[in-house]
Chains A and B, each alone.
Chain A
C-alpha cells in the first residue's frame, strides 16, 4: 500500500534532493516496520522485564515482601543443588540427543542419497516421527512403548524370550535415557533432512571425476563428502541445540521433571508456576538465555556463512 507511492516519487524530479532521498528511504522501510515493531514489543520487552525481575527477591504468594537483592538469585541458582543439577541435566540431555540424532541422521541421509526402489516412500516414513505432535510423541513413548506391564518393548521381550524374559521398568530405571531416546526418535529426521540437502548440493561432476580417477567410496566420503558436509553438520548441531535446550514437552510428559530429568526450561516453569518464586525463576531464565546466546552466536556465524555464499552465488 505504502509502496504504491514510490512509483510517482521516483519519476518526479526531486526538488530538494536530500529530502526526497530521506522520504524515499522511509517509504522503502515502511513495509518492514510493522513486523519489526511487533517483534521488539513481543519478544524483547518481556526479556528486559525478566532481567529486571531476576534482581528481586519476589515470591508471588508474599508480594509485600518483594525487595531488591542484586545477584542473590543467581548465586542461588548456581548453588542450590537441584537447580545446579538442572543446569547439568540440560547440558547432558542436549549434547546426547543432538550428537546421537546427528550420527543416525547422517547414516540415513547417506542411505537416502542413493537411488533405490521406493526411495520416496522410505523418505516419507523417516520424516513421519518429526510430524507427530511432541506431546503425543512423548505419550506414545511413555505409555505405549515404555510401560512395564503392557508396553511394546516389554511385549517384544516377552515374545522373544518367553515367560522368563526380563521386564524392566524403563522410565524408572533409566529416566534420562528414556527421555533422550524419545527425543532422538523425533529429531533424527530433522538432522537427516538437513544433511540430505547437504549431500544433494554436492557437485555430481566432481564426484564422477573422483570416481574416474579411481577413488574408493571411503576415500570420497572422507576427503570430499565430509569436508563439504562440515557446515551442514554444524548447522544441524546448532539448530538442534537451540531447539532441544528449550525442550519442555518430553520432560514434562514422560517424567514430569522427576527422577533427575528436570532441565532448565522445566525448572523455570516449576519455580514460578508451582513454587511462585518469581525472582529465582527469572534468574534461571536469564541463565538459559545466556546459554542460548553462546550457542546462537555460533549458529548465526554458520547461517551467515551459508547465506553469504547463497547471495554471492545468486
Chain B
C-alpha cells in the first residue's frame, strides 16, 4: 500500500515541481521581453513629452503628454519638412519592391516549377551576390552616377535597392513556389488549362502568402538603407534615413523631436515586419530556415 502510494506520489510531485519551474521560466521570458522592448517604449513615451520634460534627470515618467515633438518633427513651427524624404523613401521602397517581384517571379518559376538544368548553381550565384558588400561597388556607382547626371536621382536608388533585394526574393520565392505540388499543376495542364490560367488559378493561391511576405521583407530592407542613399542623394532625392542623420549632432533640447522622428520613420518597418512575422526568418536566412 505505502509503496504504491509513494510510487504514485513521486511523479505527481515531480509534475508540480516541473510546473513551478515552467512558470518561473515564463516570468523570466516576460522580463526579457520587457527589457528588450523598454528602449522602444521609452522612445514612444519621450516623443509625447515636452522638450523640457524629456531632458530631466532623473527622468520624469509622469510628465504631461503633448504632441509638440511631432509638430516640431513635421516642421509645423518652421524647420525642414520631412515629407519630401518620406515620399522619396516610399517611392524607392515600393518601386524597387515591384521591380524585384517582376524580375524574381519568373526567375523563381524557372528555378522551382519548370527547372532549368543546374538550377542549384544559379540559385547559389544569386546568393553569392548578396554576400558582396555594398562598399565593393560603391565608388564606381558613384562615379557612374556623377558622370551620367544620375546623382541625386531617386530612380538610381530604385535600381540599386532592386539589386540588393533580388537575391533574397529569388531564394524565398523559389522555396514558396517549390511547395506547389507538381501533380496539381500537371493535372490542370492535362485538363487543358493554359499557362496563364495555371499560374493564376493554381500556383498563385498557394504561393500568395509567401510572395506577400517576400515583398514586405524587400520593402523593409529598402526603407532602412542608408549608405547608398547617403552617398548618392542630396537635396532632391534624400530618403528618410538620410533625413534622420540630420539629428546626429545634438541641437539643444531636441529629444522629443528625435523620438517622434525615429518612431514615425520606423512605423512602416514595424508594421511590415509584424505583418510578415511568420516568414521573417525564412527571408532573413535567405530561405535556408523555415
Chain A residues packing against B (C-beta within 8 Å):
3-4, 6-7, 25, 28-32, 34-36, 38-39, 42-47, 49-50, 53, 107-108, 111-112, 114-119, 121-137, 139-145, 147, 149-150, 152, 154-156, 158-159, 185, 188-190, 193-194, 196-198, 201, 232, 235, 239, 242, 245-246, 248-249, 252-253, 256, 264-265, 268-269, 272-273, 278, 281-282, 284-286, 288-289, 292-293, 295-296, 299-300, 302-304, 306-307, 310, 314
What CA separation (Å) do A303 and B250 show in the bound complex?
43
- A125 CA to B29 CA, complexed, in Å: 11
Minimum C-beta distance from A276 to chain B (A):
11
Cα distance, A188 to B33, chains bound together (Å): 12
Known: A46-B138, A156-B59. 4 other contacts (CB 8 A): A116-B29, A150-B57, A252-B226, A285-B133
Q: Are A116 and B110 in contact (CB under 8 A)?
A: no
Contact stretch, chosen from B2-10, B76-84, B204-212, B269-277 = B269-277
The answer to whether B33 and A125 touch across the interface, beta carbons within 8 angstroms, is yes
CB proximity to A under 8 Å, residues B232-290: 240-241, 244-245, 247-248, 250, 255, 258-259, 261-263, 265-266, 269-270, 273-274, 277, 280-281, 284-290
| Chain B: CB-nearest residue to A32 | B110
B23 at the interface (CB under 8 A from A): yes
Q: How far is the CA of A53 from the CA of B144 in the complex (A)?
A: 13
Point out the residue from A150, A152, A194 that lies within 8 Å of B289, measured CB to CB.
A194
Q: In this complex, which of B42, B57, B166, B284 has the most chain A Cβ atoms within 10 angstroms of its Cβ? A: B57
> Does any Cβ of A come within 8 Å of B75's Cβ?
no
Chain B residues contacting A147 (CB-CB under 8 Å) are 250, 255
Interface centre among A6, A25, A269, A300 (most CB of B within 10 A): A269
Contact in complex: A3, B135 (CB < 8 Å) = no
Q: Is the interface of B mostly helix, strand, loop or mixed?
A: helix
User: Which residues from 1 to 50 on chain B have a C-beta closer than 8 Å to any C-beta of chain A?
Assistant: 22-23, 25-26, 28-30, 32-34, 36-37, 39-40, 42-43, 46
Asked if B131 contacts A299 (CB within 8 A), the reply is yes
Q: Could you list 27 examples of A-B contacts with CB < 8 Å?
A: A4-B195, A36-B107, A38-B162, A39-B126, A39-B167, A47-B137, A49-B139, A116-B25, A124-B277, A131-B269, A132-B40, A133-B244, A134-B226, A135-B241, A136-B261, A140-B258, A143-B258, A147-B250, A194-B285, A197-B289, A242-B130, A246-B133, A281-B139, A286-B136, A292-B132, A310-B175, A310-B290
Instruction: Give the shortest distance, in Å, between A16 (CB) and chain B (any CB).
Output: 20
Please tell me if the beta carbons of A285 and B136 are within 8 angstroms of each other in the complex. yes
Which residues of B in the span 52-70 have a Cβ within 8 Å of any Cβ on A? 54-59
A307 to B288, Cβ gap below 8 A?
yes
CB distance from A76 to the nearest CB of B (A): 16
Q: In the complex, are the beta carbons of A152 and B224 less than 8 A apart?
A: no
- Closest A-B pairs by Cβ, 9 of them: A46-B137, A116-B26, A31-B106, A49-B140, A136-B262, A296-B131, A131-B273, A125-B33, A122-B33
Which one, A127, A135, A286, contacts B245 given CB within 8 A? A135
The proximity string for B residues 104-118 relative to A, scoring 1 for CB distances below 8 Å and 0 otherwise, is 101101110011110
- The answer to whether B255 touches A150, judged by C-beta atoms less than 8 angstroms apart, is yes
Q: How far is the CA of A25 from the CA of B115 in the complex (A)?
A: 10
Whether the pair A144, B39 counts as a contact (CB closer than 8 A) is yes
Complex CA distance for A246 and B43, rounded to whole angstroms: 27
Q: A46-B136, A256-B248, A292-B133 are in contact. Are A139 and B195 (CB under 8 A)?
A: no
A178 to chain B, nearest CB (A): 14
Which of B32, B114, B255, B263 is in CB contact (< 8 Å) with A126? B32
Name the B residues within 8 Å of A194 (CB-CB): 281, 284-285, 289
User: Roughly how many angstroms separate A55 CA and B266 CA in the complex, as a whole number?
Assistant: 41
